[in-house]
Amino acid sequence: MSDKATLLRQADEEFGGLRRAVEGLPEEALRRPWLGTWGVREIAIHISGWHREMIPALQRIERGEAAHPPGAYDDFDAWNARFVERKTGVKTGEVLAELDASHHDFLAAARGVSEAHFATGGAARDLFDGVGPGHYREHAAQIVEWRQKASS
């Protein structure tokens, strides 16, 4: 299996793990802060925000351009806060629907990027993993741990 196919498969598998980690949580639990000032709702917003932000980056990579200008995303905290602020007042069900839609669109954009960009050292590889499978795995583990602590 190619590097690209492997990464795309991992993205779907890890996203499934993220969705299972969230599955069955009532509205109140989804909104309850436990990761600093964030709850599951804000984590979902944050992931969707990075999906949407990196879709054009993948498209630029495919055109042979830099993913983004140097320093554009150096302040992750500011970006994360911006993503969450933009969704103030949005219903949690809509936030989760956007998470699913943005994952779908992020993978579609990745499918449009040449195989070579996903090889070790390729321009899309780390970006894709950081916003996709690695990101999903990180937050799914946090949510599972939080749920386990909350139930004990």
Mean pLDDT of the chain: 96
What pLDDT sits at residue 152?
A: 80
Rounded CA gap, 48 and 98, in Å? 7
Query: Residue 17 maps to which CATH number?
Result: 1.20.120.450
For the CA atoms of 43, 60, 65, 114, what is the dihedral angle to 10 degrees?
100
- Into how many domains does the chain fold? 1
Domain that holds residue 99: 3-33+40-151
pLDDT (tens digit per residue) in 34-69: 999 999 999 999 999 999 999 999 999 999 999 999
Distances (CA, A) of 123 to 21, 64, 75, 133: 30, 9, 21, 16
Q: Looking at residues 16-40, what average pLDDT do you find?
A: 96
